[in-house]
Amino acid sequence: MKKLSGQTKIKTAVFISGTGSNLNNLIRFSLTKNSPIKICLVISNNSKAKGLDFAKKFKIKKKIFRFHKNEEKLVIRYLIKNKIEFICLAGFMKILSKNFINKFKGKIINIHPSLLPKYKGLNTHYRVIKNREKITGCTIHYVNSRLDSGKIILQKKVKVFKNDTLITLKKRVLKQEHIAYPLAIAKIFANL
């Protein structure tokens, strides 16, 4: 990826819909000296998302957009107005349109709780347990117009135990997500 701008840290927006543990983790990472990104904006399609509390806590600008088709134009305009150069999806439950993705081509990444290309889509942990998988994990990938199908940046493996429940597995995978997401971002911008 080409250098996105001449400034020291890349102006980044994080899109969330829920709890925001990845958002919290990314904010903490972005505040470290060696982070290539600065989180300037948190966007949510859900005004009740718990993760919005982290934006408040760290005094980061936040904005709600419902992401209806017609509203995407406003989101794009808002991102441009705020000079956003890079977007991290972190538990964002809306599918972005082709037009939106093209506007930020190669600048949107996502975290998914499985070892892609396995278990694209929703309910990954449920399906992993049901299929008696021995290994699962998480993937950080570029976002393209096909669901969970963009180029893989980084993956972390996680063992699945026989007695795992949705809760225990989710917790163990999340722990790796929190390690993997900053590593993936560092990897993208390593040579700038």
Per-residue string for binding with ligand GRF, 97-136, x by CB under 6 A? --------------xxx-----------------------
- CA 91 to each of CA 6, 17, 162, 163: distance values in angstroms, whole numbers, following the listed order: 30, 6, 26, 26
Residue 187 and residue 109: Cα distance in Å, rounded?
12
| CA distance to 50, 113, 117, 118, per residue, from 127 (Å) | 26, 12, 14, 10
Stretch that binds ligand GRF, among 20-28, 32-40, 126-134, 146-154 (CB under 6 A): 20-28
Note whether 140 and 176 are within 8 A (CB). Answer: no
- Write the binding mask 43 to 72 for ligand GRF: x where contact by CB under 6 A, - elsewhere: --------x---------------------
The answer to the question of residue 90 lying near ligand GRF (CB under 6 A) is yes
- Which structure tokens are listed for 58? 């760290």
Strand partners, 121: none
- Residue 110, SS3? strand
* Least distance from ligand GRF to the Cβ atom of residue 138, Å: 6
Instruction: Single out the segment in contact with ligand GRF by CB under 6 A; choices: 12-20, 30-38, 74-82, 140-148.
Output: 12-20
- Our finding on whether 35 is near ligand GRF (CB under 6 A) is no
Q: Give dist(CA 131, CA 134) in Å, integer.
A: 9
Q: Interface residues for ligand GRF in 148-177 (CB under 6 A)? A: 174, 177
21 binds ligand GRF (CB under 6 A): yes
Question: In terms of CB distance, is 107 or 125 closer to ligand GRF?
Answer: 125
137 binds ligand GRF (CB under 6 A): no
The letter for the amino acid at 4 is L
d(CA 10, CA 109): 14
91 binds ligand GRF (CB under 6 A): yes
Residues forming the site for ligand GRF (CB under 6 A): 18-22, 51, 90-91, 111-113, 138, 174, 177
